[in-house]
Structure 1
Amino acid sequence: MKMKKFINNPENLTDELLDGLAAANRDIIHRGEENMIINNALEGADRVTIVTQGGSGHEPAISGFVGEGMVDISVVGDIFAAPGPQACVDAIKLADKGKGVLYIVLNHAGNMLTGNLTMKQCKKLGLNVVKVVTQEDVSNAPRENADDRRGLVGCIPTYKIAGAAAAEGKSLEEVAAIAQRFADNMATLAVAVRGATHPSTGAALADLGEDDMEIGMGQHGEGGGGRQPMKSADETAEIMVNALLKDIGIQSGEKVMLFINGSGATTLMEQLIIYRKCEQILKEKNIEIVANYVGELLTVQEQAGFQMFMARMDDELLRLWNAPCRTPYLTKK
């Protein structure tokens, strides 16, 4: 099937989308050198600052969450590709306002290679940086092998909670510890019913056939070993929410954050039907949802499916989640 997308020269995709993002949100962000998206308020930031990185093609993630109370600089790679380490080092140097930098990296091979090389160079330069890795995909490794887990939508609430802690004036060690505590108590499981196409090449990222779905689909069409016949919304929700509860070890009486993140081509109607069932299941188990989101935060072009995200919450994490922020795609007052 011929790819139909409103694009120009495929070689200019990242450049043009970053121009568009900055132009559409010029009151919050601006575009810097080396494909950086920068918080307009960074210059006057007397606090810990936050830098992250990742490939384009997952909009609004990750650059749509640059702004006050979240990320200060996002370093953007080409479609589904990590940026180079020099750009990340330059971003960390630019971001550092004397209080240190939290560097958040999603666990994918390219991002981790860049992240490790970046940290090595930062150490040589004597920069005050702490790296936190988000690695919460339950489908491709058990919790005891967390370093093998892919980073999915969990990066977004991690940005929010870390950003709020930084805004409160906490030290770099305190901000990093809070971000790590949250990251250690979160889990995501994705499902897809149709794969996306690579917008530069038109290549299909996954072939799921007419009657199947895959629980455990990765960010770029990677399989998760959960290929099965298509199920109803309620059946799918039950499989997924129970897998997340088991992974984190959530018990009766606990409080959780729950996201249904659309992958790009799943309607809000479907996402809300899924969320409804999740709430019913959790209520029956005496588990309280204290923070939530339903909608698109991190997409995979026009992949049909969603990511279900859950995290254990406490009073401090809830306060930080609810703290003010202003970014292109998430604002809290």
Structure 2
Amino acid sequence: MKKFINDPENIVKELLEGYALAFPNKIALEGDYLVMRAIPKSEGKVGIVSLGGTGHEPGHIGYVGMGLLDVCVPGDIFIAPHPQRCLDAIKIAERGAGVLFVVGNHASDVLTAKLTMELVKKEGLNVKMILNHEDIASGPRNKPEERRGLVGFLPLYKVAGAAAEEGKNLEEIYQMTERFSQNMCTLAVALSPGTHPVLGTPFFEIGEHEMLIGMGSHGEAGAQQMNLTTADKTAEILLGQLLDDLQVTSGETLLVILNGAGATTLMELFIIFRRMSQILTEKQITIARSLIGEIITTQEQAGFQMFIARMDQELLRLWDAPCDSPYLTILHP
């Protein structure tokens, strides 16, 4: 393992301090290393809060800012944070209209979130929790509770954050994001593992001429091992499964995201996207919006996550709404 770090015990502290120093006009550290907006949201608007282990940068801390998250609670490397820190974050985000708590469907994150919601109830706070669970490899569509959360967290942050800025109430935002969550799906593929920066061990093993389809961020179960193939063939395999899962038909409109896992280049992602675009054009399915790059990573893991979501005019409007965070900025039209 080769990494530019100091004492492994100080990685999270030094990472967050460096991050705050890099973007002082956008984010700030509050309390026990909570990442919050440098300029808080106006009173009377719903707050948006999320959590997640560090080591996946820019996710999740990269998306704190106007039109996105108000506060993110980072944990240790690949570990969910303590519930008390999440409660503190919710209190910071509370601007008099309640808080939406967005949580990825991973066992440790969900456990933390459930304990947080118990604390929230004792405090009498107005909070609703929503899970993103769009990984089609980890469970069937009729059992969403079994599906892991992958890159789908970002579209949820985006539309929820935009709706909150517009002044929609908590119930409206919850219902809209829940509907959106039911119309998205993701599938991942890996070529090589990432390495835990503290332990120095790879997350999984894979042959030199093999790839794994359907794995989680750290090599979790659900993978289909197969021989390495071309970019076009890989795009066809993943996109075919996603379209089948979401039952997308001719004439529909999609948001498409390709998320690089950490060591996969933009060159590769654009070649993949080229084939996706060809397939969808042939099927008379419109790519209304797209996002390609590194959104959530796993150190130097090679591979990517392919995400699609069914869009309507309201969701497109919210996706296009202005936002300003360190790793996603959309300017005023």
Same fold (TM over 0.5): yes
SS class of match (1:83)? coil
SS class of match (1:297)? coil
SS class of match (2:142)? helix
Q: Which residue of 1 aligns with 2:279?
A: 281
Q: Is the 8 A contact 2:104 2:133 kept in 1?
A: yes
Q: Deviations over 1:173-225 (max 9, x none)?
A: 01111111111110000000000000111111011110100001211121323
Q: Which residue of 2 aligns with 1:186?
A: 184
Q: Is the 8 A contact 1:213 1:227 kept in 2?
A: yes
* Residues in 2 aligned to 1:115 and 1:6: alpha-carbon distance in whole angstroms: 32
Q: In 2 relative to 1, CA 275–163 (structure 1 residues): closer, same or farther, beyond 3 Å?
A: same
- Size of the aligned set, in residue pairs, is 331
- Structure 1 unaligned runs (5+)? none
Matched, 1:163 2:135: no
Q: Is the 8 A contact 1:103 1:131 kept in 2?
A: yes
Q: Is the 8 A contact 1:188 1:308 kept in 2?
A: yes
Aligned 1:5-24 pairs, distance under 5 A: 5-24=3-22
Q: Which residue of 1 aligns with 2:113?
A: 115
Aligned 1:232-247 pairs, distance under 5 A: 232-247=230-245
Letter in 2 for 1:200: V
Letter in 1 for 2:9: E
Q: Deviations over 1:118-149 (max 9, x none)?
A: 11111111100000100000001111111011
* Residues in 1 aligned to 2:100 and 2:195: alpha-carbon distance in whole angstroms: 33
Q: Deviations over 1:147-174 (max 9, x none)?
A: 0111000001110110000000000001
SS class of match (2:207)? coil
Structure 1 segments (4+ residues) deviating >6 Å: none
Q: Which residue of 2 aligns with 1:291?
A: 289
Q: Which residue of 2 aligns with 1:67?
A: 65
- Structure 2 unaligned runs (5+)? none
Q: Which residue of 1 aligns with 2:87?
A: 89
Structure 1 residue 43: Cα displacement:
5.7
TM-score of the superposition, structure 1-length normalised? 0.98
Q: Is the 8 A contact 1:217 1:223 kept in 2?
A: yes
Letter in 1 for 2:289: A
SS class of match (1:42)? coil
- Alpha-carbon RMSD across the aligned residues, in angstroms, is 0.8
* Residues in 1 aligned to 2:147 and 2:134: alpha-carbon distance in whole angstroms: 6
In terms of mean alpha carbon deviation, does 40-49 or 278-287 score higher? Answer: 40-49
Q: Which residue of 2 aligns with 1:217?
A: 215
* Residues in 1 aligned to 2:41 and 2:256: alpha-carbon distance in whole angstroms: 34
* Residues in 1 aligned to 2:13 and 2:181: alpha-carbon distance in whole angstroms: 31
Q: Is the 8 A contact 2:41 2:70 kept in 1?
A: no
Letter in 2 for 1:156: L
Aligned 1:1-333 pairs, distance under 5 A: 3-42=1-40, 44-333=42-331
Letter in 2 for 1:223: A
Q: Deviations over 1:8-38 (max 9, x none)?
A: 1111111111111111000010011222100
* Residues in 2 aligned to 1:19 and 1:203: alpha-carbon distance in whole angstroms: 25
Structure 1 residue 226: Cα displacement:
0.7
In terms of mean alpha carbon deviation, does 292-301 or 214-223 score higher? Answer: 214-223
* Residues in 1 aligned to 2:200 and 2:223: alpha-carbon distance in whole angstroms: 25
Structure 1 residue 45: Cα displacement:
4.1
